[in-house]
Amino acid sequence: MLYSANSTINNTASESIQGDVSVFLEKLSDREFQRLYTQPATCLAIFRLLPDLAKQFIMRLLYIKKDVPLEHIKGWCYEQYTDKVDDSLQRLYKLHICTKNENDEIRMSKVFQENLNNALIGSGNHTSFGSTSTSIDKHKVDIDFLDKHGTEQWEAVLHYMVGANIRKKPSPAVLKLLERSGLMAKKDDDVKDEFSVFTKVDINELQITNKGFQFLLQDVNTQVWAFLIQYLNMVDDLKMDLVEVLNFLFQLGSLQLGADYSVESLTPTQQQMLNDLKHLGIIYQRKRGSKRFYPTRLATSLTSGSMLISKPSTEDSGFIILETNSRIYAYTDSPLQISVLNLFVVLKARFANMVVGMITRDSIRSALNHGITADQIITYLRTHAHPEMKKNMPILPLTVVDQIRLWEMERNRLKDEKGYLYHEFARAEDFQEVLNYAKQYNVVKWSNVKKRMLVVTMEGHIKVRAYIKKRIGSKQSSQHRQQQQQQMLQQRH
């Protein structure tokens, strides 16, 4: 009785983009929180990230030196908002800002209480909010320069993600982040697509994934935090102190745009971070050994949620017109937006401030092969639709939307799943016995009685294999006993 395993590809659903640092913080231990809350800038940053109701609770409890009954806190709000009160308190519990004792009384963390107070009134002897450089910078830069630097560095990463032609690849650290976060993956021979709208790419190069395209649809602040959260997940590999990394990120969110800060007040871990953050456009440092650094708008908006670019652009109001014949007119000169369109559109012509293209079966198939879904394409088109398009209901032509979904269904008619194949059973009785056993546990994916072949799930393989081994063992012991009995009978005769 033999079996062999057939390994196949599993279609997995795309993961959501994790750009909320609060979710990451909830995984920390109490000891890490107590270290984290020794820095006033960190306490203030986390306070800013909380829901409004949770902020109200903190401000009411901040100057109370004793435990407060839970019923008193609930009495601060109308009864119909009990659920919101509970949700806000749960956030405070998970972040170890408040605890509840056995008497249903709420107590604020003394460390958080003291250092948030220091942050609000400016007391305490610390460099939590950065230490400005005392010397004059001979190469001082202004806010316009920092905005340009931050935008160029960040968009260079996004351009690389969409396969645009760029003069310089991102740093190895950024490439590692892109791969570890699942935003990009190595291009394998198995996923090469003859209909690809991309330029020719080396198989060792990274290519955008389903999660990566979803990432491009997020606002800048969410994108930056998604990168930084992955960076936080890698600190153990980088031999860095997680608490110091978090403190520095929260410190950056409280710094003043346009001011230069001293590197000397930073810990070795935080100085190591500067080089990594420089490649993302979060800080500006003229050269690696420089004794000062400037935070860009990407840094100062980390805990405020404000966008990188404050001035409106055509992309903000929408720039895509989609006709019922699948022809697209995109009124943009942004290399990034054009590169994103190139992921699922065949570009036909390009003008000074407009590109023209077509959505075709081959271009959609190429996008699908690179992990992009029909829903993501439709969401992108709807989000960036021209104001004239948004006057229509529905916004996008239904014929085109339906066609995109049909092309995806056409590709997804067959679904691969991992399983184990059992075959070459010596006797039909053996096969039937194993088949019946597998059916009892509902682990049969496919079977053929005539060919004595059986495919079971990955989970069921463990049970079936154990059953077969047990059955073989019992058969062998039974045969051994029969042989012994025959030998004894022969000896008597």
Angle made by CA atoms 405, 378, 308, in degrees to the nearest 5: 155
Enclosing H/E stretch for 196: none
Q: Tell me the per-residue pLDDT of 191-245, one tens digit each, with 9 for 90 and over.
A: 444 333 333 344 357 888 888 888 887 888 889 999 999 999 999 988 999 999 9
Enclosing H/E stretch for 24: helix 21-25
Residue 200 amino acid letter:
K
Token pair for 74:
């609930």
* SS3 state of residue 147: helix
- Helical spans, DSSP H, in 199-256: 210-216, 220-233, 242-252
20 vs 94: CA distance, rounded Å: 14
- Helical spans, DSSP H, in 131-219: 143-161, 172-180, 210-216
**What are the structural domain ranges in the chain?**
40-121, 143-300, 314-411, 419-492
| Distance from the first to the final alpha carbon of the chain | 36
- pLDDT category at 477 given cuts 50, 70, 90 is low
40-121 has which CATH code?
Answer: 1.10.10.10
pLDDT more than 70, % of the chain: 85
Contact indicator for 319, 383 with CB cutoff of 8 Å: no
Cβ contacts of 168 within 8 Å, gap of 6 or more: 156
Total-model pTM: 0.71
Do the domains 419-492 and 40-121 match in fold? no
Q: Which fold does the domain 419-492 belong to in CATH?
A: Alpha-Beta Plaits (3.30.70)
- pLDDT category at 382 given cuts 50, 70, 90 is very high
Contact indicator for 451, 460 with CB cutoff of 8 Å: no
